[in-house]
A = this chain, B = another copy of it.
């Protein structure tokens, strides 16, 4: 295949930079989910670690390399999970971490960023404004800006999940991946296309934040005026051209799902798998719920990419969904 920016050898090497607490995460069949979905389902669980999301894989690579270069400080924009993970990785290496986030971000994520010792700055706008502000800080203070999905370490860190999935192939024939900025999708997709090309790589994004999916479909960057979804982790509006180029090479499909399906997916994962997940982590299940025929009789793996939720909102979501059935 045509080359992405990622390199499989470097991804294998990245494993050695990542704290083992983030590696070799559980991958297992959840048969209790299957009657409701009509297909075999395996879960790749990225929430049982100190920051409750897969982002530690990438920030460990970033912080290891920065530590080697003698950097003292780093800044990123974050919807909450990258900031938490970077705060964790930086703290262990004496690296100062500054995080810029929307003041509308999930409160539990912001609280954890502060608790991990990072400096948090809130902007009065959405994630795209936070990205602008972080870039401004980096320029003004001359410190490294970590740009999720653009910076190759974030993609190759996430790609280590792909190595673990490829090791388990061919037990499943499709992988469902949350699509936001694209680090997770291009990372996992790159490795699967390289090592297990028979597996279908399906990206899933909320209908309310469809910029990257529309871009993938039109093979050019499409931005949106707004993003309206509870899946805060994937609510970007401005796809990064280089990431789109990679995604075009590794994704077999990109689908959009409704908010109601995301909530139904969260509830199924709670009730039948005993998993608390954030909305982005339920996108794969939502995709199956919206297109059962496509997956009937197949075996899908879904990456449960994060579990950082505001408890009250979470219970509103899954409680309301329960009331409806």
A residues bordering B, Cβ < 8 Å?
21, 24-32, 43, 45, 47-50, 52, 112, 115-116, 270-271, 274-276, 307-309, 311, 315, 319
Q: Which of B48, B276, B311 contacts A276 (CB 8 A)?
A: B276
Known: A21-B28, A28-B21. A308 touches B49 (CB 8 A): no
Can you tell how many copies of this chain the complex includes? 2
B307 touches A274 (CB 8 A): yes
Q: Which residues of B contact A43 (CB under 8 A)?
A: 48
B50 touches A48 (CB 8 A): no
B25 touches A50 (CB 8 A): no
Q: Which residues of B contact A26 (CB under 8 A)?
A: 21, 25-26, 48-49
Give the CA-CA distance A21 to B171 in the complex, in Å.
13
Give the CA-CA distance A33 to B275 in the complex, in Å.
18
Q: Which residues of B contact A308 (CB under 8 A)?
A: 274
* A282 to B: closest C-beta gap in Å: 13
Give the CA-CA distance A43 to B49 in the complex, in Å.
9
What are 25 inter-chain pairs, A to B, with CB distance below 8 A? A21-B26, A21-B28, A25-B26, A26-B26, A26-B48, A26-B49, A28-B48, A28-B49, A30-B50, A31-B50, A31-B115, A31-B116, A32-B112, A32-B115, A45-B48, A47-B274, A48-B48, A52-B274, A270-B276, A270-B311, A271-B311, A274-B308, A274-B309, A275-B276, A276-B276
